[in-house]
């Protein structure tokens, strides 16, 4: 609990119209997409970088917890103020696109710009910002950097880190730093921007981001492959990509996910299929599209694809992607509580991964529908617990999740492909990291934040 | 000077066949591409990761400087043991390609594998590792990671950091850590691999690198554009790339560089040209190549290109690239001492940059031939000092360099695009970084290396 005198001082920095500690505000900022709740002591809307600096300096001196918050759309509790303190809400005064430099294919943005809005603005002038997390309609670019967000297009275009050229940030001691440059190459000094990416708001408060853009490919086309069993589909994924074609996206739905979407939306999906793969290719000339689709069809067919359909119109394309986009909400038919994880493995281990998940499903008696970004080995694994009031069921659900984490790591994969660690995955860090590695993380944290004020109690540190 | 008793202990760890302190060895390891010389106290060839761990632990306890060394081909003194101590020479026992995982397009290598050798091995099986620093025939992949090496193909394919998926390394305290995964997406824990890249051997000793590969494009073609003045050429560069075509490489030679190559090799180059641009495009189908070359020719012509030639055979292609590859050695006709820097600016600032360099050239009376990677804004700027024995001339040469650094930074550029800071650029760090940023670098250094034993006295820390 922040003492009243400190709250008064913080209020003075930003003015009363940017400082709130009334119940309505505390409740509005106590949650994120995990639906867990922790109330902060106050909400501050910093007006500018200088405010951020003053707030951090004050809080650092008085050891007050500060949580920088973007869209609050994270799945792992990264935006939950577990130790109370200040929520630094960036959305009010840090939501501007500062510059789109068409000459250099670069944009400068404030951290609370919404991903989708940014995409639309740059696409209007023929440019392209590929990272497209599923929450793109409400997640912020600052949050994307802090979590190193991925999305469907990562197979070809990479993830947020591949587009961050520079970051301006405020350190816990109030010092303003710039890291990186508007240049593709820059090797002067340590790669501070690199370590701020995916640091979940625990090292510094980001106040400006310089992003790389690319020219928007002129044409794209989508296709769907139907497979009788999931192993064949997973083989098709990695063999296609190892075969020299790199689609923008290579997404999958397993049988449970297909059935759930069909039950809810009646889209005429192949409900007997073991899995479907939905893929998109892009390029600048029609021959490139044709070549890629032929290659994909060839590899799919070699690996047991029983039906391959290329979308012939915008509408058909929309229909293909509808199933993928609505999988997450549809699978709730299998249980009231969804324990949703985003494990990732090297693509060639996908067949084993899905095989082992089906064993976990049988062992615990939970349905575990899977879908996601197979093009980069990232599988959204959903343990569906029928009754969210049954403690025993929930406990077994979490045990199933822990087994799945262990499987992912055994298969050279990771706890999290794109959601981060935050609070939810913190207990599992020791599965993935040695004590020496955890100690190094803590040393890095201390180097930036010696008084431990920024997003405290996260990442298992 | 390391005490004899410590040298004996270190020798015990690796055996006498891997420990040397005789004059011949000390001399062999006292230099790098800067040609400056600092003798170490001993050379150790660690046999494996466990040796590295034991050596570091011992040296950390006794505060002995340790310098991990790759190919010694760096241009900024990164491999010079300025404080004596141990040179950890990796080339003898850490030179193996451990795995090429064709299913996932990934390779695992030891740090002393030579860049060019690695490229050849992966290309034989249809794969491709793009980063191609000019020193590729003798530089090592570990050195490439430590300096975040670039090269000619960065315009399209990015630089070393874009290919590093994971790193195994030994911390100064002897602890072995793994950072990153064999997965495209991984957001568990801080991005330690990201900060090790470009850390110039000052944070940890790299023992294994996991690199991303891509499928080798099936076709490539090169072309040359001749421009009457350098401003037009620089405009053509950024307008081409902003126009939606991304060539593999977009290299330039200014008039001085063209004349120097012609004088030395008689290749029938256009010696009256203000600049030439040499470019390469690649792809999987002929139509893609044709489309890109047409786009480039169109943009070049719009921006004052007076002659555009597409290489029609392998031999013609070789000829085009010959001039670029031999520019560095040819320009020595202009002076005995070459002060060679690798400043980088956003592409659209190239016209101003070259304009301002010509003013510096006139002011100091030195020829400053420029060539390099304009596709990513990286210009190799060479202040040619006629007499390398004349202290006054050398001093003025260094003043000219300092002015050029200031110009680069003014134009939103960087001190170093790919060579690193090391020793040579350390005095200029304060031009590019604030005291708060320098202090953050020192905090990061302390987090990894609290006793300051690794590559000490570098990067202005």
The band of B35, judged by pLDDT with boundaries at 50, 70 and 90, is confident
The pLDDT of residue A276? 97
A210 has pLDDT over 90: yes
B141 has pLDDT over 90: yes
Among residues A437, A455, A378, A444, the alpha carbon closest in space to that of A191 is found at A444
Give tens-digit pLDDT for A80-118: 999 999 999 999 999 999 999 999 999 999 999 999 999
Strands B127-128 and B214-215: antiparallel
The pLDDT of residue B136? 95
A272 has pLDDT over 90: yes
Give tens-digit pLDDT for B308-346: 999 999 999 999 999 999 999 999 999 999 998 989 999
Among residues B336, B314, B346, the alpha carbon closest in space to that of B242 is found at B346
A378 near A150, Cβ under 8 Å? yes
The CATH number assigned to the domain with range A219-328 reads 3.30.70.2190
The pLDDT of residue B11? 98
What's the whole-number mean pLDDT along residues A147-158? 93
Beta-carbon count within 10 A of A125 CB: 10
Among residues A197, A442, A195, A177, the alpha carbon closest in space to that of B447 is found at A442
The pLDDT of residue B182? 87
Helices (H), B164-313: 192-196, 230-242, 255-265, 286-302
A186 has pLDDT over 90: no
The pLDDT of residue B389? 94
A378 touches chain B (CB under 8 A): yes
Nearest-Cα residue of chain B relative to residue A147: B187
- Say which residue the tokens 């010092």 belong to: A175
* Domain B97-215, CATH class in plain words: alpha beta
CA angle, residues B121, B126, B132, in degrees to nearest 5 = 55
What's the whole-number mean pLDDT along residues A55-77? 96
The pLDDT of residue A50? 98
Among residues A98, A104, A212, the alpha carbon closest in space to that of A160 is found at A212
Residue A358's SS3 state is helix
The fold of B219-327 is Alpha-Beta Plaits (3.30.70)
What's the gap in Å between the CA of B55 and the closest CA on chain A? Answer: 17
The band of A35, judged by pLDDT with boundaries at 50, 70 and 90, is confident
Say yes or no: domain A335-427 is CATH 3.30.70.2740.
yes
B217 has pLDDT over 90: yes
The band of B72, judged by pLDDT with boundaries at 50, 70 and 90, is very high
Which tokens is A179 given?
Answer: 């890291």
A392 has pLDDT over 90: yes
What is the rounded CA–CA span in Å between residue A155 and residue A144?
A: 17
Strands A86-89 and A42-44: parallel
Task: Write out residues 422-441 of B within 8 Å (CB-CB) of A.
Answer: 425, 429, 432-434, 436-437, 439-441
A448 near A200, Cβ under 8 Å? no
Strands A86-89 and A66-69: parallel
Q: For A147-151, A200-204, B449-453, which range has the lowest pLDDT when averaged over its residues?
A: A147-151
Burial of A102 by CB count in 10 Å (0-12 exposed, 13-18 middle, 19+ buried)?
A: middle
Which tokens is A8 given?
Answer: 């008064």
B168 touches chain A (CB under 8 A): no
Residues in chain B: 461
Each as own residue / partner, the long-range contacts of residues B122-126 (CB below 8 Å, 24 or more positions apart, any chain) are B122/B213, B123/B216, B125/B100, B126/A244, B126/B215, B126/B216
A175 touches chain B (CB under 8 A): yes
What's the whole-number mean pLDDT along residues B14-26? 98
What's the gap in Å between the CA of B150 and the closest CA on chain A? Answer: 7
What is the rounded CA–CA span in Å between residue B458 and residue B68?
A: 13
Which tokens is A205 given?
Answer: 């408060």
Residue B92's SS3 state is coil
Which chain A positions have a beta carbon within 8 Å of B162's beta carbon?
Answer: 162
What is the rounded CA–CA span in Å between residue A295 and residue B347?
A: 36
What's the gap in Å between the CA of B25 and the closest CA on chain A? Answer: 31
Average of per-residue pLDDT values in chain A: 95
A205 has pLDDT over 90: yes
Give tens-digit pLDDT for A277-298: 999 999 999 999 999 999 999 9
Contact flag A187-B148 (C-beta cutoff 8 Å):
yes
Give tens-digit pLDDT for A245-258: 999 999 999 999 99
The fold of B4-89 is 3.30.43
* Domain B335-428, CATH class in plain words: alpha beta
Among residues A68, A121, A117, the alpha carbon closest in space to that of A453 is found at A68
Task: Write out residues 12-51 of B within 8 Å (CB-CB) of A.
Answer: none
The band of A228, judged by pLDDT with boundaries at 50, 70 and 90, is very high
B219 has pLDDT over 90: yes
The band of A174, judged by pLDDT with boundaries at 50, 70 and 90, is very high
Residues in chain A: 461
End-to-end CA distance of chain A: 22
B279 touches chain A (CB under 8 A): no
B187 touches chain A (CB under 8 A): yes
Task: Write out residues 53-82 of A within 8 Å (CB-CB) of B.
Answer: none
What is the rounded CA–CA span in Å between residue A187 and residue A209?
A: 18
Which tokens is A415 given?
Answer: 């706890």
Contact flag B284-A244 (C-beta cutoff 8 Å):
yes
B293 near B281, Cβ under 8 Å? yes
Contact flag A198-B190 (C-beta cutoff 8 Å):
yes
What's the whole-number mean pLDDT along residues A445-459? 97
The band of B187, judged by pLDDT with boundaries at 50, 70 and 90, is confident
Evaluated on CA atoms A383, A389, A393, A397, the torsion sign reads: positive
B451 touches chain A (CB under 8 A): no
What is the rounded CA–CA span in Å between residue A248 and residue B268?
A: 44
Write b or e for each residue in A390-408: b if 16 or more Cβ atoms lie within 10 A of its Cβ, otherwise e: eeebeebbeebbebbbebb
B6 has pLDDT over 90: yes
What's the whole-number mean pLDDT along residues B354-378? 95
B185 has pLDDT over 90: no
The band of B423, judged by pLDDT with boundaries at 50, 70 and 90, is very high
Residue extents of the structural domains in chain B: 4-89, 97-215, 219-327, 335-428
Among residues B420, B369, B424, B419, the alpha carbon closest in space to that of B402 is found at B424
Beta-carbon count within 10 A of A363 CB: 12
A191 has pLDDT over 90: yes
The band of A314, judged by pLDDT with boundaries at 50, 70 and 90, is very high
Write b or e for each residue in A32-71: b if 16 or more Cβ atoms lie within 10 A of its Cβ, otherwise e: bbbeeebebbbbbbbbebebbbbbbbbbbeeebbbbbbbb
What's the whole-number mean pLDDT along residues A392-396? 96
Instruction: State the DSSP string of B37-84.
Output: B---SEEE---SHHHHHHHHHHHHHTT--EEEESSS--SSSTT--TT-
Strands A176-180 and A97-101: unpaired
The beta-strand segments (E) located in A286-388 are 305-310, 337-341, 370-373, 378-385
């Amino acid at each position: 609990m922040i003492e009243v005198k400190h709250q008064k001082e913080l209020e003075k920095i930003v003015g009363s119209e940017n400082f709130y500690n009334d119940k309505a505000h505390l409740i509005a900022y106590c949650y994120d997409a995990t639906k867990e709740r922790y109330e902060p002591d106050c909400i501050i809307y910093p007006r500018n970088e200088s405010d951020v600096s003053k707030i951090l300096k004050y809080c650092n001196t008085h050891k007050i917890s500060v949580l920088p918050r973007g869209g609050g759309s994270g799945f792992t509790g990264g935006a939950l103020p577990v130790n109370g303190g200040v929520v630094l809400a960036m959305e009010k005064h840090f939501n501007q696109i500062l510059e789109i430099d068409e000459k250099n294919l670069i944009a400068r943005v404030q951290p609370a710009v919404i991903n989708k809005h940014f995409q639309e603005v740059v696409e209007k002038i023929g440019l392209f910002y590929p990272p497209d997390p599923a929450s793109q309609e409400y997640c912020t670019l600052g949050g994307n950097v802090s979590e190193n967000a991925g999305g469907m297009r990562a197979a070809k275009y990479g993830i947020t880190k591949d587009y961050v050229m520079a970051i301006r940030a405020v350190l816990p001691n109030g010092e303003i730093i710039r890291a990186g440059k508007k240049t593709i190459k820059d090797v002067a000094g340590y790669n501070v921007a690199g370590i701020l990416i995916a640091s979940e708001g625990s090292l510094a408060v980001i106040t400006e981001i310089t992003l790389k853009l690319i020219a928007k490919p002129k044409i794209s086309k989508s296709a769907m492959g139907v497979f009788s069993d999931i192993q064949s589909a997973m083989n098709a994924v990695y063999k296609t990509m190892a075969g020299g074609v790199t689609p923008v996206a290579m997404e999958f739905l397993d049988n449970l996910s297909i059935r759930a979407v069909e039950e809810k939306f009646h889209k005429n999906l192949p409900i007997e299929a073991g899995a479907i793969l939905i893929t998109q290719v892009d390029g600048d000339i029609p021959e490139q599209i044709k070549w890629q689709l032929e290659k994909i069809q060839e590899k799919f067919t070699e690996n047991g694809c029983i039906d391959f359909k290329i979308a012939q119109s915008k509408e058909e394309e929309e229909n293909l992607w509808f199933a993928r986009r609505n999988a997450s909400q549809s699978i709730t038919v299998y249980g009231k509580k969804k324990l949703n994880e985003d494990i990732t493995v090297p693509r060639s281990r996908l067949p084993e991964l899905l095989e082992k998940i089906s064993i976990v499903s049988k062992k615990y008696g939970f349905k575990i529908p899977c879908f996601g970004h197979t093009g980069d080995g990232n599988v959204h694994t959903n343990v569906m617990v029928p009754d969210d009031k049954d403690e025993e069921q929930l406990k077994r659900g979490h045990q199933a999740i822990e087994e799945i984490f262990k499987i992912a790591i055994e298969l050279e994969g990771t706890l999290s492909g794109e959601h981060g660690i935050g609070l939810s995955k913190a207990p599992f860090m020791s599965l993935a990291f040695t004590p020496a590695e955890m100690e190094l993380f803590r040393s890095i944290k201390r180097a930036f934040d010696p008084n431990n004020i920024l997003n405290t109690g996260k990442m298992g540190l």
